[in-house]
Structure 1
Amino acid sequence: MENIVKVFKGTGFSSLSAQEIEILENHLFCIDGKGMIVKRLAPSDSSYQSTLQAAKDEQKLIELKEGQYLLPGFIDLHIHAPQWAQSGTALDIPLYQWLNTYTFPLEAKFEDTAFAKKVYAHLVDTLLANGTTTGLYFATVHEEASYLLADICARKGQRGLVGKVVMDDAEQNPADYRDEDTESALADTERFIQRVKALQAETVQGVYPVVTPRFVPCCTDEALAGLGKLAEKYDVHVTSHCSESDWEHGYVKERFGKHDTQVLNDFGLLRDKSVMAHCNFLSDADAATFKETGTAIAHCPISNAYFANSVIPIKQFHEQGVEVGLGTDLSGGYDPSVYSAIRQAVISSRMLEDGVDTKKAPEERGTDHSRITVKEAFYFATVGGGESVRLPIGRLAEQYAFDAQVIDTTVAQASMPIFDENEPLEDIFQKLLYLTKRENIVSVWVQGKQINE
């Protein structure tokens, strides 16, 4: 027990694959000083009782109560951090109008770091309370406010991947919200990468800089090429939007004569640590490029319903070998909870398979083999997200970081309908995913450290 600093005892759920869940009944999870799961023991293991007794004797045991369950912390692959201030507003207008009327004027305010601090601190607290232990963030064009977001993640204990957004095209961006020019956009990005890497070295759970062209329409060719070179030079994550809507996808085809995927790949922005949001209009050739380059899709089912003009065939892309995680896409998605993204991912996939136009016959209405199960959506929210960002997170398994959320099904203000003490654990797992509210998440752990209770 020398290298073990705490031992959790309880029942948890973790993905083995997109189709199969591990039910870890009354397991022990042994955590070392670096916050990693170094040993996981089932009651049938020979060292279970001795490890349990030693943990009690050394006061290292944390035991879940009756009605409490352990889930991996969720990984949100697409968050517009500044847009938290407008969540729940203006979702009834087209994407282009929404950006220029509401979003860009709001993001321009983040030049004021006092305002940025207020919004970002509230956001990170909110996400942690909802079980999001890792977030991949778009910040704004402002270097200082973007660094502030990384620093807030570091201090509050969330694993944050943060990008200073690049928007350098004077013809495509508003005069009061864009990079001054291409040269300064690239210089600010490089300095931001260096600063966050220094912060990362001081942070237990890790914070990471991300190369972040907002999307192709906002950037000049020179900026896209320069960002690709910075991603290679520093071996950092990359994120952007890709083939999100009819407008954005169409703009790129008109400007370059090819899809977003090929444009981004030509500029060196599709890499092993790249995560592209939405991707609704990928062709089979685009999906093959994603697979070849190791680029992942951040599936954002709620915001897609508002702005994407389509339902993404996410099951097909995943079966083609493309890595997939989930994103809330605040504030195009109004809800900060990945639980809502899980539920909407299932709903949207069923609507795609069954179809929505009742004027057509049932056999002509939908797209076959499109629906995903809640197990698949849970996999995307955990394992898929971890694999997408190339970090050992998303599983309650040995050699993974202990990122976890404790769900209490008995809390008075949000108790769940579990009346049979012998209810199958697989059924309880489904209830957790469909019924958990913020009130049910009674504690959150990141890298072995309790963040809130």
Structure 2
Amino acid sequence: MGSPQRLPLAHVFKGTFVHSSSSSPMEILRGHLLGVDESGTIVFLEQAEQQEQLAKTWDFKMSDIRELSNYEFFMPGMVDTHIHAPQYSFAGTRVDLPLLQWLTTYTFPTESKYKDSDFAEEVYTRVVRRTLKNGTTTACYFATIYTDTSLLLAEIIDKFGQRAFVGKVCMDLNDSVPQYKEITADSVRETDRFVKELLERKYPRVQPVITPRFGPSCTEDLLRALGDLAQARDLHVQSHISENEEELKLVANMFPAYQNYTELYDKNKLLTSKTVMAHACYLSDEELKLFSLRGAAISHCPSSNFSLCSGVLNVQKVLKHNVKLGLGTDVAGGYSASMLDAIRKTMIASNSLQIHEVNETGLTLKEAFKLATLGGSQALGLDDVIGNFEVGKEFDALLINTKASDSPFDLFSADNFEDTLQKFLYLGDDRNISEVGFVSQFENLRAFGHVVDDDDDDDDDDDDDDDDDDNNNNNRTYKTSDEQRNCLPPEADAQLAPEVHCPLANSPSYIQNMKLYGMEYPFGQFGSPALAVSPPSFLGTPHLLIGRAV
């Protein structure tokens, strides 16, 4: 028998790749070649000295290589392990109360509005777009108690191509906002319906996750039923734990038969190797040992922990117990939907523990970077698919341009690459994330383009940096034609924009048959992210790119 036929090569990139591995929190691979096949799988990552041999082995030409500038690098897409999609409507406001009062005053009344599908569609479209624009290629979302609009969130995520877990929230206790709670049996039945309908849709990158809100909002009967459902269907679980001291006291009073908060989840089959619990600021050593034993993960949400004055998670203590750990934005307790903000707040939280002599040393920026990428993929059980650039994983990546024309930070002649990388992690934002790439729901690799928010300023391209050779190729405008329109796949039956601005390849051979069409959820003329078809010279099938309308 012959060896199985390998898929054709789709992309070859040459330049710098920054990622984490099991042995190092950050590896900087300068002068490397990375190849991606038509399925979006990384098939090689080698030093550029191997270029001639790789070209023979994989049958590509030198002109097919996309070479990055000295100011660009690839990093893995970031993983937000905890975010509340419905709370995005008030992100950046209302962080003036502690957790329990914050929930009853702001959060529950807001989430009760999500019966309205039009309102839900607007907010959910914006939050998915914003997280992608900020470099979040994978997210673990809380929705609300409403099944239909929770399914709508999953549909929107699928159309954008983001990878995600989506949970219909379950809560049968809520005396403070009684209109926003469920009858126990209804909650279980609707959760089962949510799971069945979402799985039947066969979205390639969106999965259901069992989502009891947290201990104080759930009866023991509800927790037990949800644990049974998670076990029967082998589903992921997400919730909150030990976020706030007042919450801890409430749980102890409500569930006196359990030794601690962790045991409450564990005894009800909700603490498994597919569980991710947010916050965990006050877990004891005994509880952390149980987390490690079960293989459960923690989502560190430092922005929310600070904003609501909840507590500070000792990340080093968690890692010493061999507990899987990722980062979460926790919108809207956390005021930013950017994982770069989560990295920065992680450093501040660690430094605060060092200042108060809880720990002798703090985390390094490299370690925080790992938590936002590979750590997040491990927390969600996706580290065999994404998280770094190991051969065999999907090419789920961000192209970073540290010298973008509107970059929020400056570079100087004395800056080496490590300096530049640190500046991006501490000072950069979506303006430096020139392209977001991953495999989407269509037939082949869905590659790179810039995710654009509906309120992007039309004057962004008016900077006087046109003579910068490193940016010239990122400022082209491409027009569509009737002939090009015929290149669109059947799924792309949508509006075509007459012009698109796509920060794409440095090589003209990469840009062919450019197409732009609007998504199903537009805001403004071309407000939604758009998809462009661009087959490289050695690939016969179209690639979809998230483009930018001019």
Q: Tell me if both proteins adopt one fold, taking TM over 0.5 as the criterion.
A: yes
The C-alpha deviation readout for 1:228-260, integer Å capped at 9, x for no partner, is 011111111100000100111111112223321
Query: For 1:45, what is the secondary structure of its paired residue?
Result: helix
Moved more, 323-332 or 441-450: 441-450
Please list, as runs of the form range in 1=range in 2, the aligned pairs for 1:339-418 lying within 5 A after superposition.
339-355=340-356, 366-369=357-360, 371-391=362-382, 392-414=385-407, 416-418=409-411
Q: In 2, are the aligned partners of 1:352 and 1:371 still within 8 Å (CA)?
A: yes
Query: For 1:450, what is the secondary structure of its paired residue?
Result: coil
Report the RMSD for the aligned CA atoms in angstroms.
1.9
Q: In 1, are the aligned partners of 2:15 and 2:67 still within 8 Å (CA)?
A: yes
Please list, as runs of the form range in 1=range in 2, the aligned pairs for 1:184-203 lying within 5 A after superposition.
184-199=186-201, 201-203=202-204
Please list, as runs of the form range in 1=range in 2, the aligned pairs for 1:278-293 lying within 5 A after superposition.
278-293=279-294
Task: Compute the displacement of 1:225 (Å).
Answer: 0.2
Alpha-carbon separation, structure 2, partners of 1:69 and 1:29: 12
- Structure 2 equivalent of residue 359 of structure 1: none
Unaligned runs of 5+ in 2: 1-5, 440-444, 451-550
- Structure 1 equivalent of residue 35 of structure 2: 30
Alpha-carbon separation, structure 1, partners of 2:421 and 2:24: 14
Query: For 2:412, what is the secondary structure of its paired residue?
Result: coil
Q: In 2, are the aligned partners of 1:72 and 1:382 still within 8 Å (CA)?
A: yes
Task: Compute the displacement of 1:61 (Å).
Answer: 3.4
Moved more, 32-41 or 232-241: 32-41
Q: In 2, are the aligned partners of 1:6 and 1:31 still within 8 Å (CA)?
A: yes
- Structure 2 equivalent of residue 360 of structure 1: none
1:452 to 449, 453, 460: 449
Structure 1 stretches of 4+ with a deviation exceeding 6 A read none
- Structure 2 equivalent of residue 358 of structure 1: none
| Percentage of pairs with the same residue | 39
Alpha-carbon separation, structure 2, partners of 1:275 and 1:269: 10
The one-letter code of the counterpart of 1:284 is D
* Counterpart check, 1:174 vs 2:170: no
Q: In 1, are the aligned partners of 2:98 and 2:310 still within 8 Å (CA)?
A: no
Q: In 2, are the aligned partners of 1:280 and 1:308 still within 8 Å (CA)?
A: no
The one-letter code of the counterpart of 1:418 is L
Task: Compute the displacement of 1:48 (Å).
Answer: 5.1
Alpha-carbon separation, structure 1, partners of 2:61 and 2:408: 30
Q: 1:451 to 1:107 in 2, by over 3 A?
A: farther
Larger Rg computed on CA atoms:
2
The one-letter code of the counterpart of 2:343 is I
Q: 1:93 to 1:63 in 2, by over 3 A?
A: same
TM-score of the aligned structures, taking structure 1 as reference length:
0.92
Task: Compute the displacement of 1:26 (Å).
Answer: 2.3
Q: Which has the higher helix share?
A: 1
- Structure 2 equivalent of residue 362 of structure 1: none
Alpha-carbon separation, structure 1, partners of 2:296 and 2:238: 10
Alpha-carbon separation, structure 1, partners of 2:327 and 2:25: 18
The C-alpha deviation readout for 1:108-139, integer Å capped at 9, x for no partner, is 11001111010000110100000000000000
Q: In 2, are the aligned partners of 1:173 and 1:218 still within 8 Å (CA)?
A: no
Unaligned runs of 5+ in 1: 356-365
Task: Compute the displacement of 1:173 (Å).
Answer: 5.6
Q: In 1, are the aligned partners of 2:16 and 2:73 still within 8 Å (CA)?
A: yes
Q: In 2, are the aligned partners of 1:244 and 1:308 still within 8 Å (CA)?
A: no
The one-letter code of the counterpart of 1:452 is G
Query: For 2:358, what is the secondary structure of its paired residue?
Result: coil
Alpha-carbon separation, structure 2, partners of 1:425 and 1:236: 42
Task: Compute the displacement of 1:9 (Å).
Answer: 1.9
TM-score of the aligned structures, taking structure 2 as reference length:
0.76
Q: 1:218 to 1:451 in 2, by over 3 A?
A: farther
